[in-house]
Structure 1
Amino acid sequence: MGTKISGATAVQLTEVSKVYGRGAASVTALDKVSIALARGSFTAVMGPSGSGKSTFLHCAAGLDRPTSGTVRLGDTDLTRLKEAALTELRRERIGFVFQAYNLLPALNVEQNITLPLRLAGRGADQAWLREVVSRVGLADRLTHLPSELSGGQQQRVAIARALVTRPEVMFADEPTGALDTRTGRQVLTLLRDVVDHFKQTVLMVTHDPVAASFADRVVFLADGRFADSLDRPNPAAVAERMTRLGEW
């Protein structure tokens, strides 16, 4: 997809390919994918199993290096960075939310949220921490341990942890995959609110048409290639495109 989205670009992938293995045993997970994500936008990535969704997220977030092509976060070319610089960039400029909440069980809610700051040797901006905690609805849970929280509350902690460093982009990989429908919708509403209120850029991989409908735009992958996109999605339209992709 060659077209840029209007406004400043938060992330840009240009002709990104990822090949695992060599020779006859090689598998092309991504095949010359190009896309730009505008700052303050909410993008969902969908596609059949094996379409390259997770590889796309890992390359875009600097968790995996593409075989060819470039990935830019703002003005920074991730593909040119050494591993130590990439690690620092992920910690300072990117937020992550996964299906498994990845909270540390011995730390309370506040300690889990501020962990990225401590790893970076920085203190928390107390005013920003209070705003984030209030926005995610955890102000009365700061001293609780993860084991004392519901799944939805644990995912809210993970979202707050991703926000606390004021990242340029938040990457969410199946963030509602472990949650029931009602709790999942609450988390998606929170992600939508984070985009609208904080102007946060969010890229979410999901298999759920309802989850995708919370985004501004859905990008569809199939066989490692850009297949389609849908602006202002609704669940029925997303499901219909996914059905078509099964025969793509």
Structure 2
Amino acid sequence: MTDVVRLDAVSKVYGTGQSAVAALREVTAGIPQGSFTAVMGPSGSGKSTFLHCAAGLDSPSSGSVKLGGTELSGMDETRLTKLRRQRIGFVFQAFNLVPALTVTENITLPLRLSGSRVDRAWLREIVSRVGLDGRTGHRPAQLSGGQQQRVAIARALMTRPEVVFGDEPTGALDTMTAREVLRLLREVVDGMGQTVVMVTHDPVAASYADTVLLLADGRIVDTMTAPTSERVAERMTRLGAWV
């Protein structure tokens, strides 16, 4: 399979001298096209930094990050912003919807910001796939948490991105609603051929992925395929300094 995202020997150091902290240390990983990857690790393991570097939200101190054939390292912020808007989707724990806008307006906001035309047929398909038929005129305050996260997922898909990054996308949801959102992300991969990378602390959430990357002390220390929540939870107790 072709790698949509590729990190080669990526390190990220915050601060200098005595106060320097290495958040990532020589991380190499590939995210295959059409796959669902979960990134896990204890607090301070580097999983958020991994996502930020992979998604072009932060620049590595050394190493290479590629989206498709495009090298992100060394790009200026203007070019990175344009690339993120056109080629990457984001789903966050806090939904990040605009309260004054309707569901349709929130979903199409990235296209409006970039001055791009809205493909109405694609919009209808996405709205249907994420289960928001009949809700398109509502505003976020009129929706449940799960419905708001569905809007955020639809917004992430609207630009037909090469990869969707989720940062704890179920972290603010109750257990039942979280499972609905995870099933939707699974369907986005299986039914639409999308690539999803999700940072999570929840072994149940990770079990929906094809592959789990386990980080500790800024390094990938294990890769688990066909994960179950039990195997992930057990492995999480034996990571890095916790061993």
TM-score category by the smaller chain?
A: over 0.9
Answering whether residue 187 of structure 2 is matched by residue 193 of structure 1, we say yes
CA distance in 2, matches of 1:62, 1:247: 30
Identity over aligned pairs, percent:
67
User: Equivalences for 1:1-248 in 2 at 5 Å?
Assistant: 7-245=1-239, 247-248=242-243
Q: What is the deviation of 1:80?
A: 2.8
Please report the RMSD computed on the Cα atoms of aligned residues, expressed in angstroms: 0.7
User: What residue identity is the alignment partner of 1:23?
Assistant: G
Q: What is the deviation of 1:244?
A: 1.1
Q: What is the deviation of 1:239?
A: 0.5
CA distance in 2, matches of 1:130, 1:78: 32
CA distance in 1, matches of 2:242, 2:131: 42
CA distance in 1, matches of 2:179, 2:216: 26
CA distance in 2, matches of 1:130, 1:233: 33
1:112-153 alpha-carbon deviations (Å, 9 max, x no partner) = 000000011012111111110000000110000000000000
1:88-123 alpha-carbon deviations (Å, 9 max, x no partner) = 000000000000000000000000000000011012
Q: What is the deviation of 1:66?
A: 0.4
CA distance in 1, matches of 2:159, 2:50: 23
Gaps of 5+ in 1: 1-6
Structure 1 residue ranges (4+ consecutive) displaced by more than 2 angstroms after TM superposition: none
CA distance in 1, matches of 2:229, 2:129: 26
Query: What is the TM-score of this pair, normalised by structure 1?
Result: 0.97
Gaps of 5+ in 2: none
CA distance in 1, matches of 2:24, 2:238: 20
Q: What is the deviation of 1:161?
A: 0.1
User: What residue identity is the alignment partner of 1:104?
Assistant: V
Query: What is the TM-score of this pair, normalised by structure 2?
Result: 0.99
- Number of positions where the alignment pairs a residue of Structure 1 with one of Structure 2: 242
